[in-house]
Every structure is written in C-alpha cells, then in structure tokens.
Amino acid sequence: MDEFIIRALIAGIMVASVAGLLGVFIVWRRMAFFGDTLSHSALLGVALGMLFNVGFTIGVLASTLLVGLILYSFQKQKRVSNDALLGILAHSGLSMGLIALSFVQAQNTNIEEWLFGDVLSVSWSDVYFIAVIMLVIVIIMRWLWTPLLTLTVHDELAKVEGVNTNLVNLGFVLVVALLVATAMQIVGALLITALLIIPATTARNFAKTPEQMALIAAFIGVLSVIGGVYASFWYDVPAGPSIVMFSTALFFSSHAARRLL
Amino acid sequence: MMNSDKEIATLKHVSLRHGSRQILQDVSLTVEAGKVLTIIGPNGAGKSSLLKVLLGLQKANSGEVKLRDGLRIGYVPQSISIDNNLPLSVHRFVALGGSGSVSEVLSLLKIEHLSNTAIQLISGGEFQRVLLARALLRKPELLVLDEPAQGVDVMGQGELYEKISTLRNHYGFGVIMVSHDLHLVMAKTDQVICLNQHICCHGVPADVSRHPEYHRLFGDMPNSGLAVYTHHHDHTHDLHGNVVSDDHSDCHHG
C-alpha cells in the first residue's frame, strides 16, 4: 500500500472520529448552519494566514473565533434573526476569503484544495499536527461533556444548577474552530458540516445514550473515510466529496435497514 | 415581624422593562425557609419573569435580589422540549441535575418505573414529576416552581401540590411558585401574592381571597369560593405590610 494512502487514512480517521464526537452536539443543538458559517468563513482565515505568513491553521482559528464572538455578541439583540446573521457571515466570509485568496494566487495556491480538501496530499508532519490538535479537542471535550450536555438539554436549568454557560459555549466554539481548521485539509471548507452532521444523524438510529450516539457517529465517520479514500484512489475521484458520499450512503442504508428490522 | 435568619431569598423594589414595556414594577417579596409562597396573577402579569429575576436568569433594571450565600436552588421551569435526536432516558435526564441518588428521588415521586423510558416519550404530567425529581436531587433549600401542574389532569394536580407540601414539611425547604390553579393552590400555601406587574395584594390565602383586588383580578372565575380552603396554618403567620389601596385603578397598566 502506498504511503500517501496510509497518511490519508490516518489523518482522515482521526478527524472523522473527532467530528463524530462534536457532530452529535451540532445535531442536538440544531447548529448545522452554525457549522457551515464557521467553516465557510474559515476560508477568509486561510487567506489571512497566508497573507500574514502565520500558517493557515492560526488564520482559520482566528477567523472562526472572531465569527463565534460576533455571533455571541449578536445573540442578545432581536432585530436580525439568528439564521439570517449566520447566512450573512457564512457567505461574506466565503466571499472575502475568495477575494483575499486571489491576492495570494501568485504563491501557487489552489483554491479548490481549500474548498474541497485534498486528503491524499497530507504529509507526515500534517499527520502529527492533526494528531496533536485532535488530542487537544478530546481532552477539552472530556471536561466539557457533562456541562455541555446539561446545557444542550435546557440552558436555563443548567444555569440555575451552576453550569457556567458562557464558558461552556465558548469552549464548544473553540473545539469546533479547532476541528474546522484541521478538517479543511480533509474535506475542505464547503463539506466540513457534512462530516459533522451526517454520521451523527445516522448514529441516532442505533444509540440509546448520548455517549453511544457519539461513539457510533465516530465509527460511521471512520467507515466513510476508509470508503472515500479508497474510492478516490481507485477511481481517481476527489476524496472529500467521496467521503461525504459514503457517509450519505450509510445514512440512507441505515434508514432502510431500520425499516426492515 | 418575621425572623430574618429564616429569609432565604428577598427581592427589594425590583423593576423590569423590555424596551418600553413594563414587566415588573417595584416588586418586593421574601421567601422564608419552610414556607410556601405562591404567586398568582393573570396572563402577562410578569409571574415567570419574576422567578427569572429571582434565579438570576434575567437582570432587573432596578432593585435588589438577595439570596442567602450558597443557597441551593431546585428549579422547575415552565416548559421544556427536548430534541428527538438526543437519546436520553429519564434516569439520565434527572442525573444531569446533580450528584444525588437518582433512584431515590424517582421513587420518592413514584416514577421509578419510568427510569429507562426515553424522556421524549413520557406524558406532560409525568414530565412535571421528572422535573420535580431533578430539582429535588440537588437537596434544595429553595424550590422554584413555574406552573408545576401544567399538563397534569385535575386529579393529579391536587396530588402534586399535596406532594410538594409534604416534601416541604419533610425537608424544610422554602418554596416559591407560580400557579394558575387558584383553589388548589390556596389550600397548600402559606402566603399568596397577587401580581399584575406590581403586587396588588398579598397575605395569607384567606385574607387575599377576600381582598377586593383579588376579586377584581379573578372575580369572574368560576368557583372562587375559597373560604372553604382556609389554611389550617394561617394563625401562625402575620399579615405583613398590608397592602395596596382599594383604588382599583391601581392594577391598570399601559
């Protein structure tokens, strides 16, 4: 087996399993559009990271956290509805990112790589970096799990019971931002949300507890990555979209299977 | 006068506005340990907002909220809907509230048979008990209930208030609750506050039910013959700070 496939599989499996862990919360909290907003506007972060020469990860983290803060500060007003605001930020971030990237075109960037990812081109140092980031996310999530679940069920009840809801929400935005920054390389800015919500929604069919649902979602994400990476290698189709197609196939077949059982 | 070390929660001259709309105006009240305080009032009177200010979920525009240091609060909010995508059993839902023994509170409220049922599948009346169980798990010193008998049938309502009353006697916590069920509540409460943005009248149930403001607010309701339910404790409490004037225009707000 070629080494680049092994690298792609390792990187993809790590990102997809952590995406399953976070994706269940995105589904429970109905934040699919929020995931889109963070990942689309992350393209601006990529461009900024390159322009200021600090690396795209730092750029993406900065832009995602900025978007998170803007959303948070707008939450208290009622004149602009939340989903309109998400749409505005998603597409303005994407547009600004595309414009900014056109300035760095000279340094041979391929915009498509950022939009749809290129998992087959990850290097060993990318793999190590992704491993560290995923470990950080898992550690934060371990600490965040119960308060975040409490908050997801009912946020006023959680507040009265002593959950620091601002801190927990901020922590969650941070881990999603970290995931977006790394998943950019695997499935690209436009498809990250798919990695978050499709495995999680599929897992609902089989789970009896929140933890089961997260683990099953992670497992389904891993299966999708394996399928997608191999399809991409054998049939020479783009890897990111293939991964998403595999998880979609699993989603529909799980529904069919459930109906038969 | 009441004993000040029994006061566990106090509001002083609290006012709350949403934009130009006055929600609460100069509301003062005290919750005492081991006593039940019930807030009644028409829709839109600010009853739920009052609880939210007390709980710190909403900041008052003016006035003061004082809770005893480290006060453990059990809260039963008005309505909860839980996303169908979240696989959560009743047991787990209650366990999220704290570190106490879940099976103990479930059997206390006679809902241990629901323990493994998905939270989305239980009825409204069962849900109210589950919420109460979660509040009790925290061994509260103050129980805050927003329409606890919502979705509970009439038989169940009486039972639920009876339960709250026995638990209060057993654990000695203070209770502040909002309710619509006038005659049921009146029998089990120590103090009643009639709220319509400001406090129209307050006192022991027997006195409040004779108060003209009370009749102005609720007089048109059927079965307002509350004298039957005169509370057997009411000789032990003073009527304090009695009350707004008889001027009926007092309760009209823009």
Q: Provide DSSP, A233-252.
A: HHH---HHHHHHHHHHHHHH
Q: In this structure, how many other beta carbons lie within 10 angstroms of the beta carbon of residue B163?
A: 18
Answer yes or no: is pLDDT of B245 > 50: no
Kindly state whether B185 is in contact with chain A, defined as any CB-CB distance less than 8 angstroms: no
Q: Do A156 and B56 touch (CB under 8 A)?
A: no
CB-based burial of residue A1 (10 Å sphere; 0-12 exposed, 13-18 middle, 19+ buried)? Answer: exposed
Average pLDDT over residues A76-80: 73
List the single best residue of A24, A144, A153 to mutate versus B (max B Cβ within 10 A). A153
Answer yes or no: is pLDDT of A117 > 50: yes
Least confident of A219-233, B154-168, B201-215, B233-247: B233-247
Name the band, by pLDDT with cuts 50, 70 and 90, for residue B238.
very low
Q: Which residue in this structure is represented by tokens 């190590």?
A: A128
Q: Do B98 and A161 touch (CB under 8 A)?
A: yes
Name the band, by pLDDT with cuts 50, 70 and 90, for residue A242.
very high
> Percent of chain A at pLDDT above 90?
48
Q: Are B80 and B134 in contact (CB under 8 A)?
A: no
Dump pLDDT digits (tens) for B30-88: 999 999 999 988 888 888 999 999 999 989 999 999 999 889 999 999 878 899 999 99
Residue of B nearest to A147 (CA): B96
Kindly state whether B92 is in contact with chain A, defined as any CB-CB distance less than 8 angstroms: yes
Average model confidence (pLDDT) across chain B: 81
pTM exceeding the 0.90 threshold for the entire prediction: no
The pLDDT value given to residue A83: 83
Residue B12 phi/psi, 5° resolution? -125, 115
Residues of A in contact with B96 (CB under 8 A): 146, 149-150, 153
Residue of B nearest to A154 (CA): B80
The pLDDT value given to residue B253: 42
- A159, amino acid identity: K
The pLDDT value given to residue B246: 39
DSSP SS3 for B128 = helix
The pLDDT value given to residue B4: 61
Q: Closest by alpha carbon to B11, among B35, B28, B23?
A: B28
Answer yes or no: is pLDDT of B181 > 80: no
Residue of A nearest to B95 (CA): A150
Least confident of A24-38, A198-212, B123-137, B192-206: B192-206
Residue of B nearest to A213 (CA): B87
Dump pLDDT digits (tens) for A142-173: 999 999 999 999 999 999 999 999 899 889 98
Least confident of A118-122, B13-17, B26-30: A118-122
The pLDDT value given to residue B225: 40
The pLDDT value given to residue A95: 92
Q: Do A27 and B98 touch (CB under 8 A)?
A: no
d(CA A126, CA A94): 24
Phi-psi region of B70 (alpha: psi -120 to 50; beta: other; left: phi over 0): left
Non-local (6+) Cβ contacts of A259 within 8 A are none
Q: Do B83 and A157 touch (CB under 8 A)?
A: no
Answer yes or no: is pLDDT of B233 > 70: no
Task: Classify strands B73-76 and B62-67 as parallel, antiparallel or unpaired.
Answer: unpaired
Name the band, by pLDDT with cuts 50, 70 and 90, for residue B242.
very low
How close does chain B come to A147, measured CA to CA in Å? 8
Name the band, by pLDDT with cuts 50, 70 and 90, for residue B221.
low
Q: Do B77 and A156 touch (CB under 8 A)?
A: yes
Kindly state whether B121 is in contact with chain A, defined as any CB-CB distance less than 8 angstroms: no
CA-to-CA dists, residue B54 to A83, A189, B18, B68, B142, angstroms: 31, 44, 17, 12, 11
The pLDDT value given to residue A108: 61
Average pLDDT over residues A224-241: 92
DSSP string, chain A: --HHHHHHHHHHHHHHHHHHHHHHHHHHTT-HHHHHHHHHHHHHHHHHHHHTTS-HHHHHHHHHHHHHHHHHHHTT--SS-HHHHHHHHHHHHHHHHHHHHHHSGGGT--HHHHHH--GGG--HHHHHHHHHHHHHHHHHHHHHHHHHHHHHH-HHHHHHTT--HHHHHHHHHHHHHHHHHHHHHHT-TTTHHHHHHHHHHHHHTT-SSHHHHHHHHHHHHHHHHHHHHHHHHHH---HHHHHHHHHHHHHHHHHHHHHH-
Residue of B nearest to A207 (CA): B87
DSSP SS3 for B75 = strand
Name the band, by pLDDT with cuts 50, 70 and 90, for residue B95.
very high
Residues of B in contact with A204 (CB under 8 A): 85, 87
d(CA A32, CA A39): 11
List the single best residue of B71, B78, B96 to mutate versus A (max A Cβ within 10 A). B96
Name the band, by pLDDT with cuts 50, 70 and 90, for residue A120.
confident
Nearest to A153 among B56, B85, B93 (CB): B93
Q: Are B66 and B9 in contact (CB under 8 A)?
A: yes
The pLDDT value given to residue B97: 92
CA angle A89, A90, A92 (to 5 degrees): 65
Name the band, by pLDDT with cuts 50, 70 and 90, for residue A105.
low
How close does chain B come to A92, measured CA to CA in Å? 30
Give B 144-163 residues with CB within 8 A of chain A.
144
The pLDDT value given to residue B241: 38
Residue A226 phi/psi, 5° resolution? -60, -50
> Percent of chain A at pLDDT above 70?
96
Average pLDDT over residues A16-34: 94
d(CA A192, CA B73): 41
Residues of B in contact with A212 (CB under 8 A): 87
Q: Closest by alpha carbon to B146, among B40, B18, B6?
A: B40
d(CA B200, CA B217): 9
The pLDDT value given to residue B53: 94
Question: Pick the residue with more confidence: B109 or B244?
Answer: B109
Answer yes or no: is pLDDT of A42 > 80: yes
Q: Do B87 and A207 touch (CB under 8 A)?
A: yes
Residues of A in contact with B57 (CB under 8 A): 156, 159-160
Q: Do B89 and A209 touch (CB under 8 A)?
A: yes
Answer yes or no: is pLDDT of B247 > 70: no
Nearest to A159 among B57, B80, B134 (CB): B57
How close does chain A come to B167, measured CA to CA in Å? 20
How close does chain B come to A57, measured CA to CA in Å? 32
Kindly state whether A209 is in contact with chain B, defined as any CB-CB distance less than 8 angstroms: yes
Nearest to A161 among B88, B93, B97 (CB): B97
Kindly state whether B53 is in contact with chain A, defined as any CB-CB distance less than 8 angstroms: no
Answer yes or no: is pLDDT of B249 > 80: no
Average model confidence (pLDDT) across chain A: 89
Question: Pick the residue with more confidence: B188 or B140?
Answer: B140
DSSP string, B153-184: -HHHHHHHHHHHHHHHHHH--EEEEE-S-HHH
> Percent of chain B at pLDDT above 70?
84
d(CA A182, CA A11): 9
Residues of A in contact with B97 (CB under 8 A): 157, 161
Answer yes or no: is pLDDT of B110 > 80: yes
Residue B11 phi/psi, 5° resolution? -110, 135
Q: Closest by alpha carbon to A177, among A29, A58, A3, A20?
A: A58
Question: Pick the residue with more confidence: A23 or A184?
Answer: A23
The pLDDT value given to residue B230: 37
